[in-house]
Amino acid sequence: MDLELRHLRIVRAVAEAGSVTKAASHLGLAQPALTAQLKRIERVLGGALFERDHNGARPTPLGELVLSRAMVLLPAARELQEEAVRFANANGDIPRYRLGATNGPILGGLVDRLATAWPSTPVSTYTSWSARELTTMVMLGRIDFALIGACGESAPPVEGPVVWLTVGMDPVFVLLNEDHPLVERKEVTLAELAGERWAVTPGDSCFGDCFATACARAGFTPQTIYETDVATCMHLAQVGRAAVLCQATFQPAPGVAMVPLADAPLRWRQLLGWHPEGPGARAAASIVEHAKAAHADAVRRSTRYATWLAENPRFGTSP
């Protein structure tokens, strides 16, 4: 048997977990299977890699040597794979814009602006609920730019060499049934909505934690939270079954009114990301400006947000 990268990953997993049992769980393997595999690896390398007892598994001197090399080889192999995929996806000298986005106000306007500015340049889009998925796609060269959101001051996905720029900062508003007694108010406090059921769209950001924290500060714990798609959120708001948290740029459907939350307890940063060595990097400055213009257009279309923004100028499109 020749030594392979997967064998080094097994050695690293055992060392990081501190025991074969825990490593097997992390790798999704049965412990006997991992133990047998580890013994085969040790035969190939000429000796025991770990001292194993009831306290766990500790690397032997040979194990320390193998681990030191694995910590160099595994990241290098991953970087090679990512660079090769980016190269294969670079599409030669043919200009194109491959955009990925989570749920947000910028993608449609950005596509329109790019198609207007460069009508002969292909533009493709990909949507996902997962900012991490889009970040990985940027790293692998499968998309050129990712539009995602981040709650408050939380960091975007940091794994990998992706450059992130803030396009805009928007407050989170609430959608209520048009007959709700609070819809005529200029603003409502989160505490005034303590008795509501809630509906949100899914995602892998920390927004759920931020919402729970904001509710706790307002003196209550939300009793029911429906995580579902946009259409269902709208239906629940229309029939008065839920208050829906939304970005302030959202265009409400008939039967629903959008109301600002006093003191903006929840904020959403609109981010644009790209790989600094990817094929789209040379166009990044232009894409940034078009993304900011698309965000400013979305703000202007939201009458309620534009009015609120006049008194809260720290929000809106980034300069």
Task: Report residue 94's pLDDT band, with 50, 70 and 90 as the boundaries.
Answer: very low
If you average pLDDT over residues 144-149, what whole number do you get? 95
The CA-CA-CA angle for residues 82, 87, 91, to 5°, reads 135
pLDDT digits (tens, 9 = 90+) for 244-291: 999 999 988 899 999 999 999 999 999 999 999 888 888 999 999 999
Q: What pLDDT sits at residue 209?
A: 86
The CB-side HSE value for 41 (13 A sphere, CA atoms) comes to 23
Please provide the DSSP assignment of 99-162 as one string: EEE-S-SSHHHHHHHHHHH-TTS-EEEEE-S-HHHHHHHHHTTS-SEEEEEEETTPPPP-SSS-
Tokens of 116: 């207007």
Q: Please state, in angstroms and as integers, the Cα–Cα distance from residue 68 to each residue in 59, 71, 192, following that order.
A: 11, 5, 57
Query: Helix, strand, coil proportions of the chain in percent (round to 5)?
Result: 45, 20, 35
SS3 243: strand
**What pLDDT digit, counting tens, does each position of 161-183 carry?**
899 999 999 999 999 999 999 99
| pTM listed for this prediction | 0.70
Query: Chain-wide mean pLDDT for the chain?
Result: 91
Site of tokens 């190269």:
87
97-125 tens-digit pLDDT: 999 999 899 999 999 999 999 888 889 99
Q: Are 167 and 110 in contact (CB under 8 A)?
A: no
The pLDDT confidence band at residue 93, using thresholds 50, 70 and 90, is very low
- Predicted local distance difference test score (pLDDT) of residue 147: 97
**Token pair for 162:** 């992706």
Q: How far is CA 206 from CA 61, 141, 262, 306, in A?
A: 42, 26, 21, 26
Element (H, E) at 12: helix 5-17
- Asked if 315 contacts 299 with a C-beta cutoff of 8 angstroms, the reply is no
pLDDT at residue 119 in the model: 87
Give the pLDDT band (50/70/90) at residue 88. low
Query: How far apart are alpha carbons 122 and 106 in whole angstroms?
Result: 18
**Predicted pLDDT of residue 15:** 94
Average pLDDT score over residue span 229-236: 94
Looking at 58-67, 80-89, 268-277, which range is the least confident one?
A: 80-89
pLDDT average, residue stretch 64-88? 84
Please check the confidence at residue 22 and state whether its pLDDT lies above 60. yes
229/279: higher pLDDT: 229
pLDDT of residue 72: 92
Long-range contacts made by residues 176-179, C-beta under 8 angstroms, separation at least 24? Answer: 176/237, 176/243, 176/244, 176/256, 176/257, 176/259, 177/237, 177/238, 177/239, 177/240, 177/255, 177/256, 177/257, 178/255, 178/256, 178/257, 179/240
Q: How confident is the model at residue 92 (pLDDT cuts 50, 70, 90)?
A: very low
Percentage above 90 pLDDT, the chain: 72
Q: Which two tokens stand for residue 137?
A: 């796609």
Q: Which pLDDT band holds residue 159 (cuts at 50, 70, 90)?
A: low
3-state SS class at 255: coil
Determine the residue type at 292. K
Residue 314 phi, psi dihedral angles, 5° rounding? -75, -10
Tens digit of pLDDT for each residue in 26-41? 888 888 989 999 999 9
- Alpha-carbon distance 146 to 98, whole Å? 9
> Of the given ranges (74-88, 217-231, 237-251, 255-269), which has the lowest mean pLDDT?
74-88
What is the predicted pLDDT for the residue at 55? 87
Query: Residue 305's closest CA among 193, 171, 178?
Result: 171
Rounded to whole angstroms, the Cα distance separating 307 from 235 reads: 26
pLDDT more than 70, % of the chain: 96
Structural tokens at position 18: 């501190």
Q: Which residue has the higher pLDDT, 188 or 278?
A: 188
